[in-house]
Amino acid sequence: MALTADDVNQIARLARLSLSENEAESFAGSLNGILDYVQKIDEVDTGGVEPTSRVARLSNVVREDRVEPSLSTEEALSNAPDKSGEYFRVPRVLEINE
Amino acid sequence: MELISKPVHELIDLLETRAISSEELVGQYLDRIEQVEPTIKAFITVDREGALEAARAVDESRRDGKAPSRLAGIPVAVKDNICTKGMATTCASEILKDFVSPYDAYVIERLRSAGMIIVGKTNMDEFAMGSSTENSAFFPTRNPWDLDRVPGGSSGGSAAAVASGEVPVALGSDTGGSVRTPASYCGVVGLKPTYGLVSRYGLVPYASSLDQVGILAGNVRDCAIMLGAIAGHDPRDSTSVKTERVDYEARLYNDIAGRVVGIPRECFGGPIDPHVTESVYAATKTLERLGARVQEVSIPTLQYALAVYYVIGPAEASASLARYDGVAFGYRYKQAEDSVSMFMETRGRGLGPEVKRRILIGTYVLSEGNYDRYFRKAMQVRTLIKKEFEQALEHCDVLVTPTTPTVAFRLGEKTDDPMSMYMSDMCTVVANLAGVPAVSVPCAKHEGCPIGLQLIGRSLDEALLLNIAYAYEQASGFEIEKASVV
């Protein structure tokens, strides 16, 4: 079933992405084209096949729990769009219940 | 002395014998950049003063007999998705336009400790998503062979910079062909190493199970020298492999007698231009003349590689790019009244259309009810592709295919049709899905534009892959000319 502009807006909300009306329309068209194409993987028989999520032949990589030098607070804050002392500052997150 | 057209291995000799200074060398390249940049537009940032200062410091250390490495004093350009401390790293995106990384990527640490001179950061498709560099938020880059055509992408700036003689060598990144496609379109050598051979620490992620730092160079030998300079284990990338150091340059024996070259039947026909097919077959004749045994092979799942890539790539991208929320770095939409609308508006205004498209596809294929049908299924097909590839590479030393279906296309030709743009990657994505190394070398020209030959090798056997590419390059006589457009 083809995606509509409303579906695209719903996906965009999940991705925290604001879209204009035009964008939602135009993405609906291109997304349908791409999903149609990738559908061809359905032709492959994958019964009993393990999925591959990584190609390097590695198991869990761990290291000793040791304190090492890392970015200073000043460096970490150097690109902050807004800050207050040693903190990133953002608009209100919680509703105030009076 | 005119230094612009000389390969890195000759420049090394000239610097080591002190026939030239690094300041002189870097100065010539900076002048060349000034001359051609208004036309080619390969760079987002050029650091003239910093480069000259670093060159003078290398000259001084060399005078004292303390040059940090053979590569000390050689200029290099870096794709703008590789973090450089103190120099902007924009990923060609509005959302990172003013971002200056507080740390160096692993590969940048390696270049700096080798004494290489970073002259600037190159243009690319935004967040490495694209095959033409037209998705840069700032400006498109032109193909030095034909200014009406694209340089390929996403590492189009790095490829165009090498092809037009703005730098002798450059770094790029390759998630589905982003080093090899522009190498093919611009007539240079482009290597995507084995997944895990080069640390991704400080490479801005697009799709982490596919991303790899790669090299754009004027010839195979220079590529081998550069690989030696950036390969190695790094504990800060948990997928970095522990391997022994290899002297890739010393392994270019030029003897490939008895080597088995496989031609995957599935990589021909369809959208592949007959001129490209003809050139690749002519290249296999050259390999045969050198004593290689050429045979056709079949890799049936290859026809699904692009579809698998366009599920897995966007899925991983939708997760990787969640970090661009306006909180800790990058652009923020400042008029938002609450955090959620800040996230939405920051991302909606800061990201370009192709990036949004891939985030949407990725979010969709990972959403409830679609995960098994798309994402898990794609990962299963990936397993089969990888297995068939490994089987083919058991009896073949290398597989050869076209790098791209056609020569470089014209600017604007595919911007309205994402699916036709994606098809440019049909021959390259498979090396990323399987994690194996692949290199593109120029093999012919059509309509005045270069055609690339792709060689795909065994995991972690870059030495053999580069040796076969080297033998071909030496025998083909297709010496890489510098594009003389400008």
According to the 3-state scheme, what is the secondary structure of B410-443?
Answer: ECCCCCCCHHHHHHHHCCCHHHHHHCCCEEEEEE
Closest of A73, A26, A45 to residue B381, by C-alpha: A45
Q: Residues of B84-118 as b/e, b for ≥16 C-beta within 10 angstroms?
A: bbebbbbbbbbbbbebbbbebbbbbbbbbebbbbb
B31 near B46, Cβ under 8 Å?
A: no
Clarify whether B79 is annotated catalytic. yes
Clarify whether B459 is annotated catalytic. no
What pLDDT is stored for residue A98 in this prediction? 62
Higher pLDDT, B214 or A68: B214
Minimum distance, in Å, between the CA of residue A94 and any CA atom of chain B: 9
Q: Is A1 on the interface with B (CB under 8 A)?
A: no
ipTM above 0.90, yes or no: yes
**In the numeric block, which tokens belong to residue B423?**
């098809």
CA A85 to the chain's CA centroid: 29
First to last CA, chain B: 20
Beta strands in B130-204 (DSSP E): 169-173, 189-192
User: Residue A39 CB: number of other CB atoms within 10 A?
Assistant: 12
Closest of B450, B427, B433, B453 to residue B441, by C-alpha: B453
Clarify whether B154 is annotated catalytic. yes
Residues of chain A positioned with their CB less than 8 A from the CB of B361: 31, 34-35
Q: Is B331 on the interface with A (CB under 8 A)?
A: yes
C-alpha–C-alpha distance, residues B398 and B457, integer Å = 5
What pLDDT is stored for residue B480 in this prediction? 55
What pLDDT is stored for residue A56 in this prediction? 72
Q: Quickly state the pLDDT bin for A94 (edges 50, 70, 90).
A: confident
Q: Is B310 on the interface with A (CB under 8 A)?
A: yes
Nearest residue on chain B to A95, judged by CA atoms? B338
> Between residues 445 and 474 of chain B, which touch chain A (CB distance below 8 Å)?
none
What is the full DSSP assignment across B285-301? HHHHHTTPEEEEE--GG
Which whole-number Å values give the CA distances from B27 to B15, B21, B32, B79, B191, in the listed order? Answer: 14, 10, 9, 21, 27
Q: Where are the domains of chain A?
A: 5-35
First to last CA, chain A: 46
C-alpha–C-alpha distance, residues B440 and B436, integer Å = 14
What pLDDT is stored for residue B361 in this prediction? 98
Q: Hunting for tokens 């370009």 — which residue is that?
A: B352
Minimum distance, in Å, between the CA of residue B411 and any CA atom of chain A: 20
CB A71 to CB B367 under 8 A?
Answer: no
**In the numeric block, which tokens belong to residue B376?**
């898990």
Q: Is A59 on the interface with B (CB under 8 A)?
A: no
Q: Give chain B's residues under pLDDT 50.
A: none
Q: Is A97 on the interface with B (CB under 8 A)?
A: no
C-alpha–C-alpha distance, residues A4 and B334, integer Å = 31
Closest of B52, B185, B86, B75 to residue B130, by C-alpha: B185
Catalytic residue among B6, B21, B41, B79: B79
Residues of chain A positioned with their CB less than 8 A from the CB of B322: 16
What pLDDT is stored for residue B479 in this prediction? 58
CB B377 to CB A41 under 8 A?
Answer: yes
> Between residues 79 and 108 of chain B, which touch chain A (CB distance below 8 Å)?
98-100, 102-103
B174 near B140, Cβ under 8 Å?
A: no
C-alpha–C-alpha distance, residues B106 and B201, integer Å = 5
Q: Where are the domains of chain B?
A: 1-486
Q: At residue B28, what is the residue type?
A: Q
Catalytic residue among B154, B279, B440, B459: B154
What pLDDT is stored for residue B270 in this prediction? 86
What pLDDT is stored for residue B315 in this prediction? 98
What pLDDT is stored for residue B240 in this prediction? 94
CB B329 to CB A80 under 8 A?
Answer: yes
What pLDDT is stored for residue B1 in this prediction? 87
Q: Determine the topology of domain B1-486 in CATH.
A: Amidase signature (AS) enzymes (3.90.1300)
